[in-house]
A and B are shown apart, each in its own frame.
Chain A
């Protein structure tokens, strides 16, 4: 085995790491696109335009942004039910995400999927999922393909703390490690599996430490610090591309909205806890960092904010104007041959 189990490292304090201006502004813009898109989806849900589930990613934007910044369109991302952010960060347009949640023909899954089944394989978005944990195995399988095909592509699984007590986590990490597959496992530990506190679901709440059990590197980072995520993911993805095998990254973060829009968000966490995490919002923190380090002025940041606002408005209008799918196509694509 080339890769070595390094076990858990301390939570990275990476905000001091300097990124270049272009990268910094791209990260800021991407986080903001996710945030504003999610806010719009929440409003659209309340207005009755989204008929099904809508799990927002608000509060966790730094994770998808920091990881996907290193990915190419031919790398494969496998996501969860809370996957709008992953789809956007992987390159699916705002238009196609909003249109999909509206159930329109122009949605990224042509109206077949909704929030929990966002597909855009043309940019390496291999699906969000309504089932917790299979993405771990599928990303392992992508790693298997990419190794067999002798490419430097990588498979990436995003999943929550709810997935790490599932057998797929154990089986996937074990296989990825023993076969040294180019796979990145990104655990977004937001402390609740739906509404079940992580502390009541497992004795060992240190997810990153579990990597050592399977013999792969594991690292924990502040998931609300986009630079920390960016740096850890960069190292892991470079290692995977070079044949060094898989890595587990635990991103400690928090969702500040309910599990899903329209759900009661009480009885399992306190208002104080939510407010404390809102104070650690990754986007204003990073914005302040960008300005404090002189990489961009407030005017430049405002300019990005305005561009993102326009982008979301355009996406919403596109979704509103788009046609419904033709009911005659309901049977299409069950089989590869059409029937």
Chain B
């Protein structure tokens, strides 16, 4: 099978959807003729012009609010934030408007709105270009939150996101954009709420989020040599969350670690841990553990930056600790 980068696969997904549905349009800064800071829309302006590839003023609140109104009136906007940190200027439009509109209208209005942007610590991006924020949206009713980690999932989940009638956060980790993976030629989508078991194992379950999937997989071979068989689960979408797949795995391994580069309090790991203890307490042979980034704004300098997110040695050690309990 051919291999594409994460970026190229997601681009293909967007291009296919735009070709088949003329009501889809993209807004963002530099996504027109320039093709996007992260090459998310390269070449599409030449095909569809400025109305469907709309370069915006720098007014995130304004163009998100515009897209909410557009989604209520028959079109399907895709907001390309470049860095997802910029979404914070639009939180009122999203939380009070986009997420509540279907409910308030008793289901007569739909909200087909995709909110995509790059997340994650890395590359000395510093604190205004390194956030993730997924947990905030998972907390709130109305949003779908999608975090693909492979090129295959990036394409399949972006297509599902664009076809969804709910507001969807589509979060792309910067350090995954150039990774390559198999992507079939033909049409396919990946459904929401279906986790991927990336590696099968028997001693411990690791639920990893975003880049942490890749980093966890990197240490698994070494752990095999130490006699530890790790099962790695990538939820792919955290709202909805496929808790059934996680519980099935814990039933087998009896141990659970959640690895997430974002902060621990009130976050995805806390939710997974609570749900597993609710539904699979008797399967657990050890306390559920979390390994998270440090709860601090993201620093710039390389040694500081590396210190605030889980690195492979820390992940390996956390797995050993869970197994030793």
Chain A residues engaging chain B, CB cutoff 8 angstroms:
76, 78, 109-110, 112-113, 117, 119, 121-122, 126-127, 129-131, 134, 136-142, 144-149, 155, 167-168, 170-172, 174-175, 178-179, 332-337, 339
Contacts and interface: CB of A to CB of B under 8 A. Distances in A.
B297 interface: no
A144 B74 CA distance: 10
Nearest to B193: A339
8 contacts: A76-B72, A112-B104, A119-B109, A129-B97, A142-B73, A144-B66, A171-B65, A332-B106
Given A137-B93, A332-B107, A336-B110, A148 B25 contact: yes
A333 B106 contact: yes
A172 B57 CA distance: 11
A175 B57 CA distance: 8
Nearest to B97: A134
Given A333-B106, A336-B110, A145 B61 contact: no
Contacts of A335: 102, 142, 144, 166
Task: Indicate the size class of the contact surface on chain B.
Answer: 35 or more
A140 B63 CA distance: 9
A140 B52 contact: no
Interface in B59-79: 59, 61-75, 77
Given A110-B106, A171-B57, A333-B105, 9 more contacts: A109-B106, A113-B104, A137-B66, A141-B68, A141-B73, A149-B23, A149-B74, A171-B59, A175-B57
Contact of B68 (A138, A171, A174, A178): A138
Contacts of B96: 130-131, 134
A182 to B, nearest CB: 11
Interface string B41-56: 0000000000110101
B108 interface: yes
Interface of B is mostly: mixed
Given A171-B59, A336-B166, A148 B51 contact: yes
Nearest to A329: B106
B92 A333 contact: no
B57 A141 contact: no
Interface string B132-174: 0000000001101000000000000000000011100000000
B166 A337 contact: yes
B57 A78 contact: no
B108 A141 contact: no
Contacts of B144: 335
A148 B75 contact: yes
Given A119-B108, A149-B75, A144 B70 contact: yes
Contact of B104 (A109, A134, A148): A109
Nearest to A147: B51
